[in-house]
Structure 1
Amino acid sequence: MKSINTSAHIPTEIEVENIAPNKIKVIAYPFESGFAVTLAHPLRRLLFSSTVGYAPIAVKIDGVTHEFDSIRGMLEDVALFIINLKGIRFKIKTDEKRVVLNYSFSGPKEITGADLNNDDVEIVTPDNYLATLNEDAELNFSVIIEKGVGYVPSENIREDIGTDYIALDAFFTPVSKAVYDIENVLVEDNPNFEKIVFTIETDGLISPIEAFKNSMEAMYAQMSVFKGILDIEVTTNDEDTSAGVELGKLLQSIEDLNLSARSFNCLERASVKYIGELALMTEAELKNLKNLGKKSLEEIKQVMEDIEFPVGYEFLDETSEKLRKKIEDLKSENNEG
């Protein structure tokens, strides 16, 4: 008879294969049936939407008033020039979020990404083609490079640039490819376990493994909002769920705040035993506690802010009353009232 599990199998194996420059495979297994796609799909979405990159968001060209114009002596019209420009990948060398680059070229010349390198930016696609000028042509243009994530349409950019600039659709993500396959893998005598095979490719702004790490960090950060669920007290009545999240943390002892001995002793002498009592106090009430110095006051305020229940927290009336009642009951049970 097959054994009956009481928890999901935890995958233990991970492999990374370098396929080509800026291209890898990430393989993880074994997952129980259904778990692989549950993780792979959001990770793929986050690879495209959460990895920071750089992109041209606007361009200004001397003698050009709109994107359907043309430039005397240049092989490409402005629309094709813009398409080629968006295909060149810039990387700002400093911590600046935005830089404005100015370029001037005279013909005859074939312009590629390598010609756009300067002190402000590095071009990670130096061979990408931009335009061709004939012998009597001149091309003077400015381009705004911005740091961002995901995709931003030109309509959202127009208000943030000068009227003499042409807004561009901005493709910030440095991830050019992110696909996954789910394969079956045998575990002992069970062929229904699964393997995730990710194929990830970037444009060179960052490495594929760094992009994958970024997506995992984004997933963890987004899921952290649910940490509070661990503090909910399991009840058999219809208590308000949000109140449960609050009460679970606030009914813990002030010992869990890891205050200094001076601050803890002052609260204990004032018969303040539970974190919720501090959240229910106004700052004025806290200041009036006997022998509570300024340093201890600031420490308590900071610790309460760190747990996101600052002194004087504004509860719903019914939650506030419920919290007071719970604290009174706990003190009564422990002969602390």
Structure 2
Amino acid sequence: MSVFTPVTRPELETFLAPYGLGRLLDFQGIAAGTENSNFFVSLEQGEYVLTLVERGPVEDMPFFIELLDVLHDADMPVPYALRGNDGQGLRELCGKPALLQPRLSGKHIKAPNNQHCAQVGELLAHIHLATRERIIERRTDRGIDWMLQSGAELLAGLSTEQAALLTPALDEIAAHKAQILALPKANLHADLFRDNVMFEGTHLTGVIDFYNACSGPMLYDIAITVNDWCLDAQGGIDLPRAQALLGAYAALRPFSAAEAELWPVMLRVGCVRFWLSRLIAAREFAGMDVTIHDPREFEVRLAQRQQVALKLPFAL
């Protein structure tokens, strides 16, 4: 179970008292997390999620709280920090920064269809539109410089075939760094995988886990999303689902010429980012009772992205 910091019932009851949400009925750890400790919490007044932040500096937490407040105020189905009777959204539990948020309804979709993907595209466009005019600055700790450095450090431990795939990808990232950083920006979710979105049937009811959110090029967020939501059985891109996602997005926020030009590159950048982070996690958490995602999934996807037939819906 991916709960890095166990919480006792008395500790949790003391933490929850300032919220005034009634008696604690039940709580349980959530096994799916890979970076933070998360718990489902049942109180007399409803269902909630408690997060103990395990990774990243405490000084980043006001960013997450402000971003989620902005998106919540824009009527998006996101969690947001509830305030205690002292008005604070960020508090402390077991020595860790802690947030209590409403639990969103719905379930994750393992096999999305075109309609699911179109709604995800709309959601992503709304996130970008809500923030691009007043970006809340936060530099990602897993950006281009991190990819170049971490990739170079990991090369020696890879097979000949893996190194032959990663080396030109790193060279491409370095060559296009300035162009990528000049693309239109907003606040990004930066981790909009299927397990971070909930649906009831084909209706999108929630998006969670903003702890990789940052400011940066909107196209990067789109590439990360397409790389997970629009896959065929071989790890390539399913064109109808990808076109549904991109078309729904572009109907709200049209793409620029620079974005259309860099689209194949950005798909590969998105694969490199998660291949490297999963390789590092597999090494750091080996033998521990922690959910570890398979790095090979993104190795395969990067290989599949060497040729990209999918075009952005860009009108000259």
**TM-score, length-scaled by structure 1:** 0.20
**TM-score, length-scaled by structure 2:** 0.21
Higher strand share: 1
